[in-house]
């Protein structure tokens, strides 16, 4: 590996060995090493370097299943942008920065504002997949970004689709983040934590608290266990489970997270929950899933209003939680 490629690895100052949390040095044989001797391969995809910083011993059944789901040919993420991933990414970001976003993305846009980032800030995305949300955040506020995902093919895609050199991506486990403590101003993670299993979720929240600086903020969207009156659950009940269970991406109810459970885990990890906003009740989910979001914004807002009796009581297919680390 050339020195020039390593030079381009802007995040190397905050990258750490996920086992010992020692700083990493990069050698000419395309390896990242820590002083006790752990070695991690470094790859280059279309001129963009990324490291595979997974902990070898951490593989479990759930994790392997998730990796298989996101690396399979059936993955919608693999199909999206097929052919010209960079053009897909540019269009994705352009639409959202112009405000042309699906209802759920408008929720994320509000969360981005709450992170209070500047061009000097650095944000982490956990489970970044092809990096679309981190790239969008970086385009909105000009911050630097580090994305991690356990799928190597997702990170290769992220490297190929990267629109600017403000973002970098690495293969890593969410419960052993290869980053120095207090190095991140913000963390985002959308539709990821419900895949982890509750035990790993608790570990990941502690890792988030570790890598966030004091006063840093976090915005996560997770699929909720409090989904009793949502469209999915209604259809499931009406069809004896035949319709309404979104299992194609490794979703399992026991891994979903209830808002109160999220609050208690966050508190235990040293994070303050500033707000929880349930979303995707009955009608908003109907629009996104059945009408594919192709409806006027005014109608979406009306349907959001119809869902208020549900979402006010935190009934929703998912919820956005905004946290901060105590200063």
Stretch that binds other proteins, among 27-35, 73-81, 238-246, 255-263 (CB under 8 A): 238-246
Decide if 213 contacts 183 (C-beta within 8 A): yes
Using rule CB under 8 A, residue 315 touches other proteins: yes
Q: How far is the CB of 313 from other proteins (least distance, A)?
A: 6
Q: In a 3-state reduction of DSSP, which class is residue 241? A: coil
Round to whole Å and give the CA distance between 249 and 240. 20
Decide if 300 contacts 286 (C-beta within 8 A): no
CA nearest to 192, candidates 222, 148, 225, 228: 222
Handedness of CA 285, 291, 293, 295 (dihedral sign): negative
Give the DSSP letter of residue 15.
B
**How many angstroms separate the Cα of 272 from the Cα of each of 23, 191, 256, 284, 319?**
29, 20, 21, 28, 16
Q: How far is the CB of 237 from other proteins (least distance, A)?
A: 8
DSSP string of 28-49? TTTEEE-TT--EEEEEEETTEE
Round to whole Å and give the CA distance between 262 and 209. 14
If the CB atoms of residues 39 and 313 are measured against other proteins, the closer one turns out to be 313
If the CB atoms of residues 55 and 235 are measured against other proteins, the closer one turns out to be 235
If the CB atoms of residues 85 and 227 are measured against other proteins, the closer one turns out to be 227
Using rule CB under 8 A, residue 235 touches other proteins: yes
Q: Which residues contact 85 (CB under 8 A, 6 or more apart)?
A: 130, 157, 160, 161
- Site pattern 210..229 for other proteins (x: CB under 8 A): -------------------x
Q: How far is the CB of 229 from other proteins (least distance, A)?
A: 5
Q: How far is the CB of 81 from other proteins (least distance, A)?
A: 31
Using rule CB under 8 A, residue 246 touches other proteins: no
Q: How far is the CB of 102 from other proteins (least distance, A)?
A: 20
Using rule CB under 8 A, residue 297 touches other proteins: no
* Among positions 282, 287, 318, 320, the unique one binding other proteins when judged by CB under 8 A: 282
Using rule CB under 8 A, residue 306 touches other proteins: yes
* Among positions 174, 283, 304, 318, the unique one binding other proteins when judged by CB under 8 A: 283
Using rule CB under 8 A, residue 240 touches other proteins: yes
Cβ atoms within 10 A of the Cβ of 284, count?
Answer: 26
Using rule CB under 8 A, residue 238 touches other proteins: yes
Using rule CB under 8 A, residue 308 touches other proteins: yes
If the CB atoms of residues 125 and 233 are measured against other proteins, the closer one turns out to be 233
Round to whole Å and give the CA distance between 261 and 69. 26
Using rule CB under 8 A, residue 302 touches other proteins: yes
Contact set with other proteins (CB under 8 A): 229, 234-235, 237-240, 242-243, 282-283, 302, 305-306, 308-310, 313, 315
């Amino acid at each position: 590996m050339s020195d020039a490629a390593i030079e381009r690895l802007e995040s190397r100052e905050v990258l750490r060995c996920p086992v010992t949390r020692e700083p990493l040095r990069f050698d000419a044989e395309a390896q990242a090493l820590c002083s006790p001797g752990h070695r991690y391969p470094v790859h280059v995809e279309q001129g963009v370097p990324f490291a595979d910083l997974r902990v070898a011993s951490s593989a479990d059944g759930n994790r392997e299943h998730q990796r298989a789901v996101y690396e399979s040919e059936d993955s919608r993420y693999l199909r999206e942008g097929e052919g010209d991933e960079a053009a897909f990414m540019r269009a994705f970001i352009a639409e959202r920065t112009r405000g042309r976003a699906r209802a759920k993305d408008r929720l994320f846009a509000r969360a981005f504002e709450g992170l209070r980032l500047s061009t000097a800030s650095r944000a982490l995305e956990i489970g970044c997949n092809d990096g679309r949300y981190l790239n969008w955040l970086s385009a909105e506020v000009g911050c630097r970004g580090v994305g991690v995902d356990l799928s190597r093919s997702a990170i290769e895609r992220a490297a190929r689709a990267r629109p600017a050199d403000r973002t970098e991506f690495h293969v890593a486990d969410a419960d052993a983040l290869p980053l120095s403590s207090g190095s991140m101003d913000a963390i985002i993670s959308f539709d990821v934590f419900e895949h982890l299993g509750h035990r790993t979720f608790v570990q990941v929240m502690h890792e988030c608290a570790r890598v966030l600086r004091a006063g840093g903020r976090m915005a996560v969207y997770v699929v909720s266990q409090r989904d009793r009156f949502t469209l999915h659950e209604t259809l499931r009940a009406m069809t004896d489970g035949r319709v309404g269970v979104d299992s194609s991406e490794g979703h399992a109810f026991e891994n979903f997270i209830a808002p109160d459970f999220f609050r208690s885990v966050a508190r235990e990890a040293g994070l303050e929950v500033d707000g929880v906003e349930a979303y995707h009740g009955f009608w908003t989910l109907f629009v996104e899933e059945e009408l594919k979001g192709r409806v006027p914004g005014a109608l979406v807002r009306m349907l959001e209003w119809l869902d208020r009796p549900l979402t006010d009581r935190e009934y929703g297919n998912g919820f956005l939680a905004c946290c901060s680390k105590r200063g």
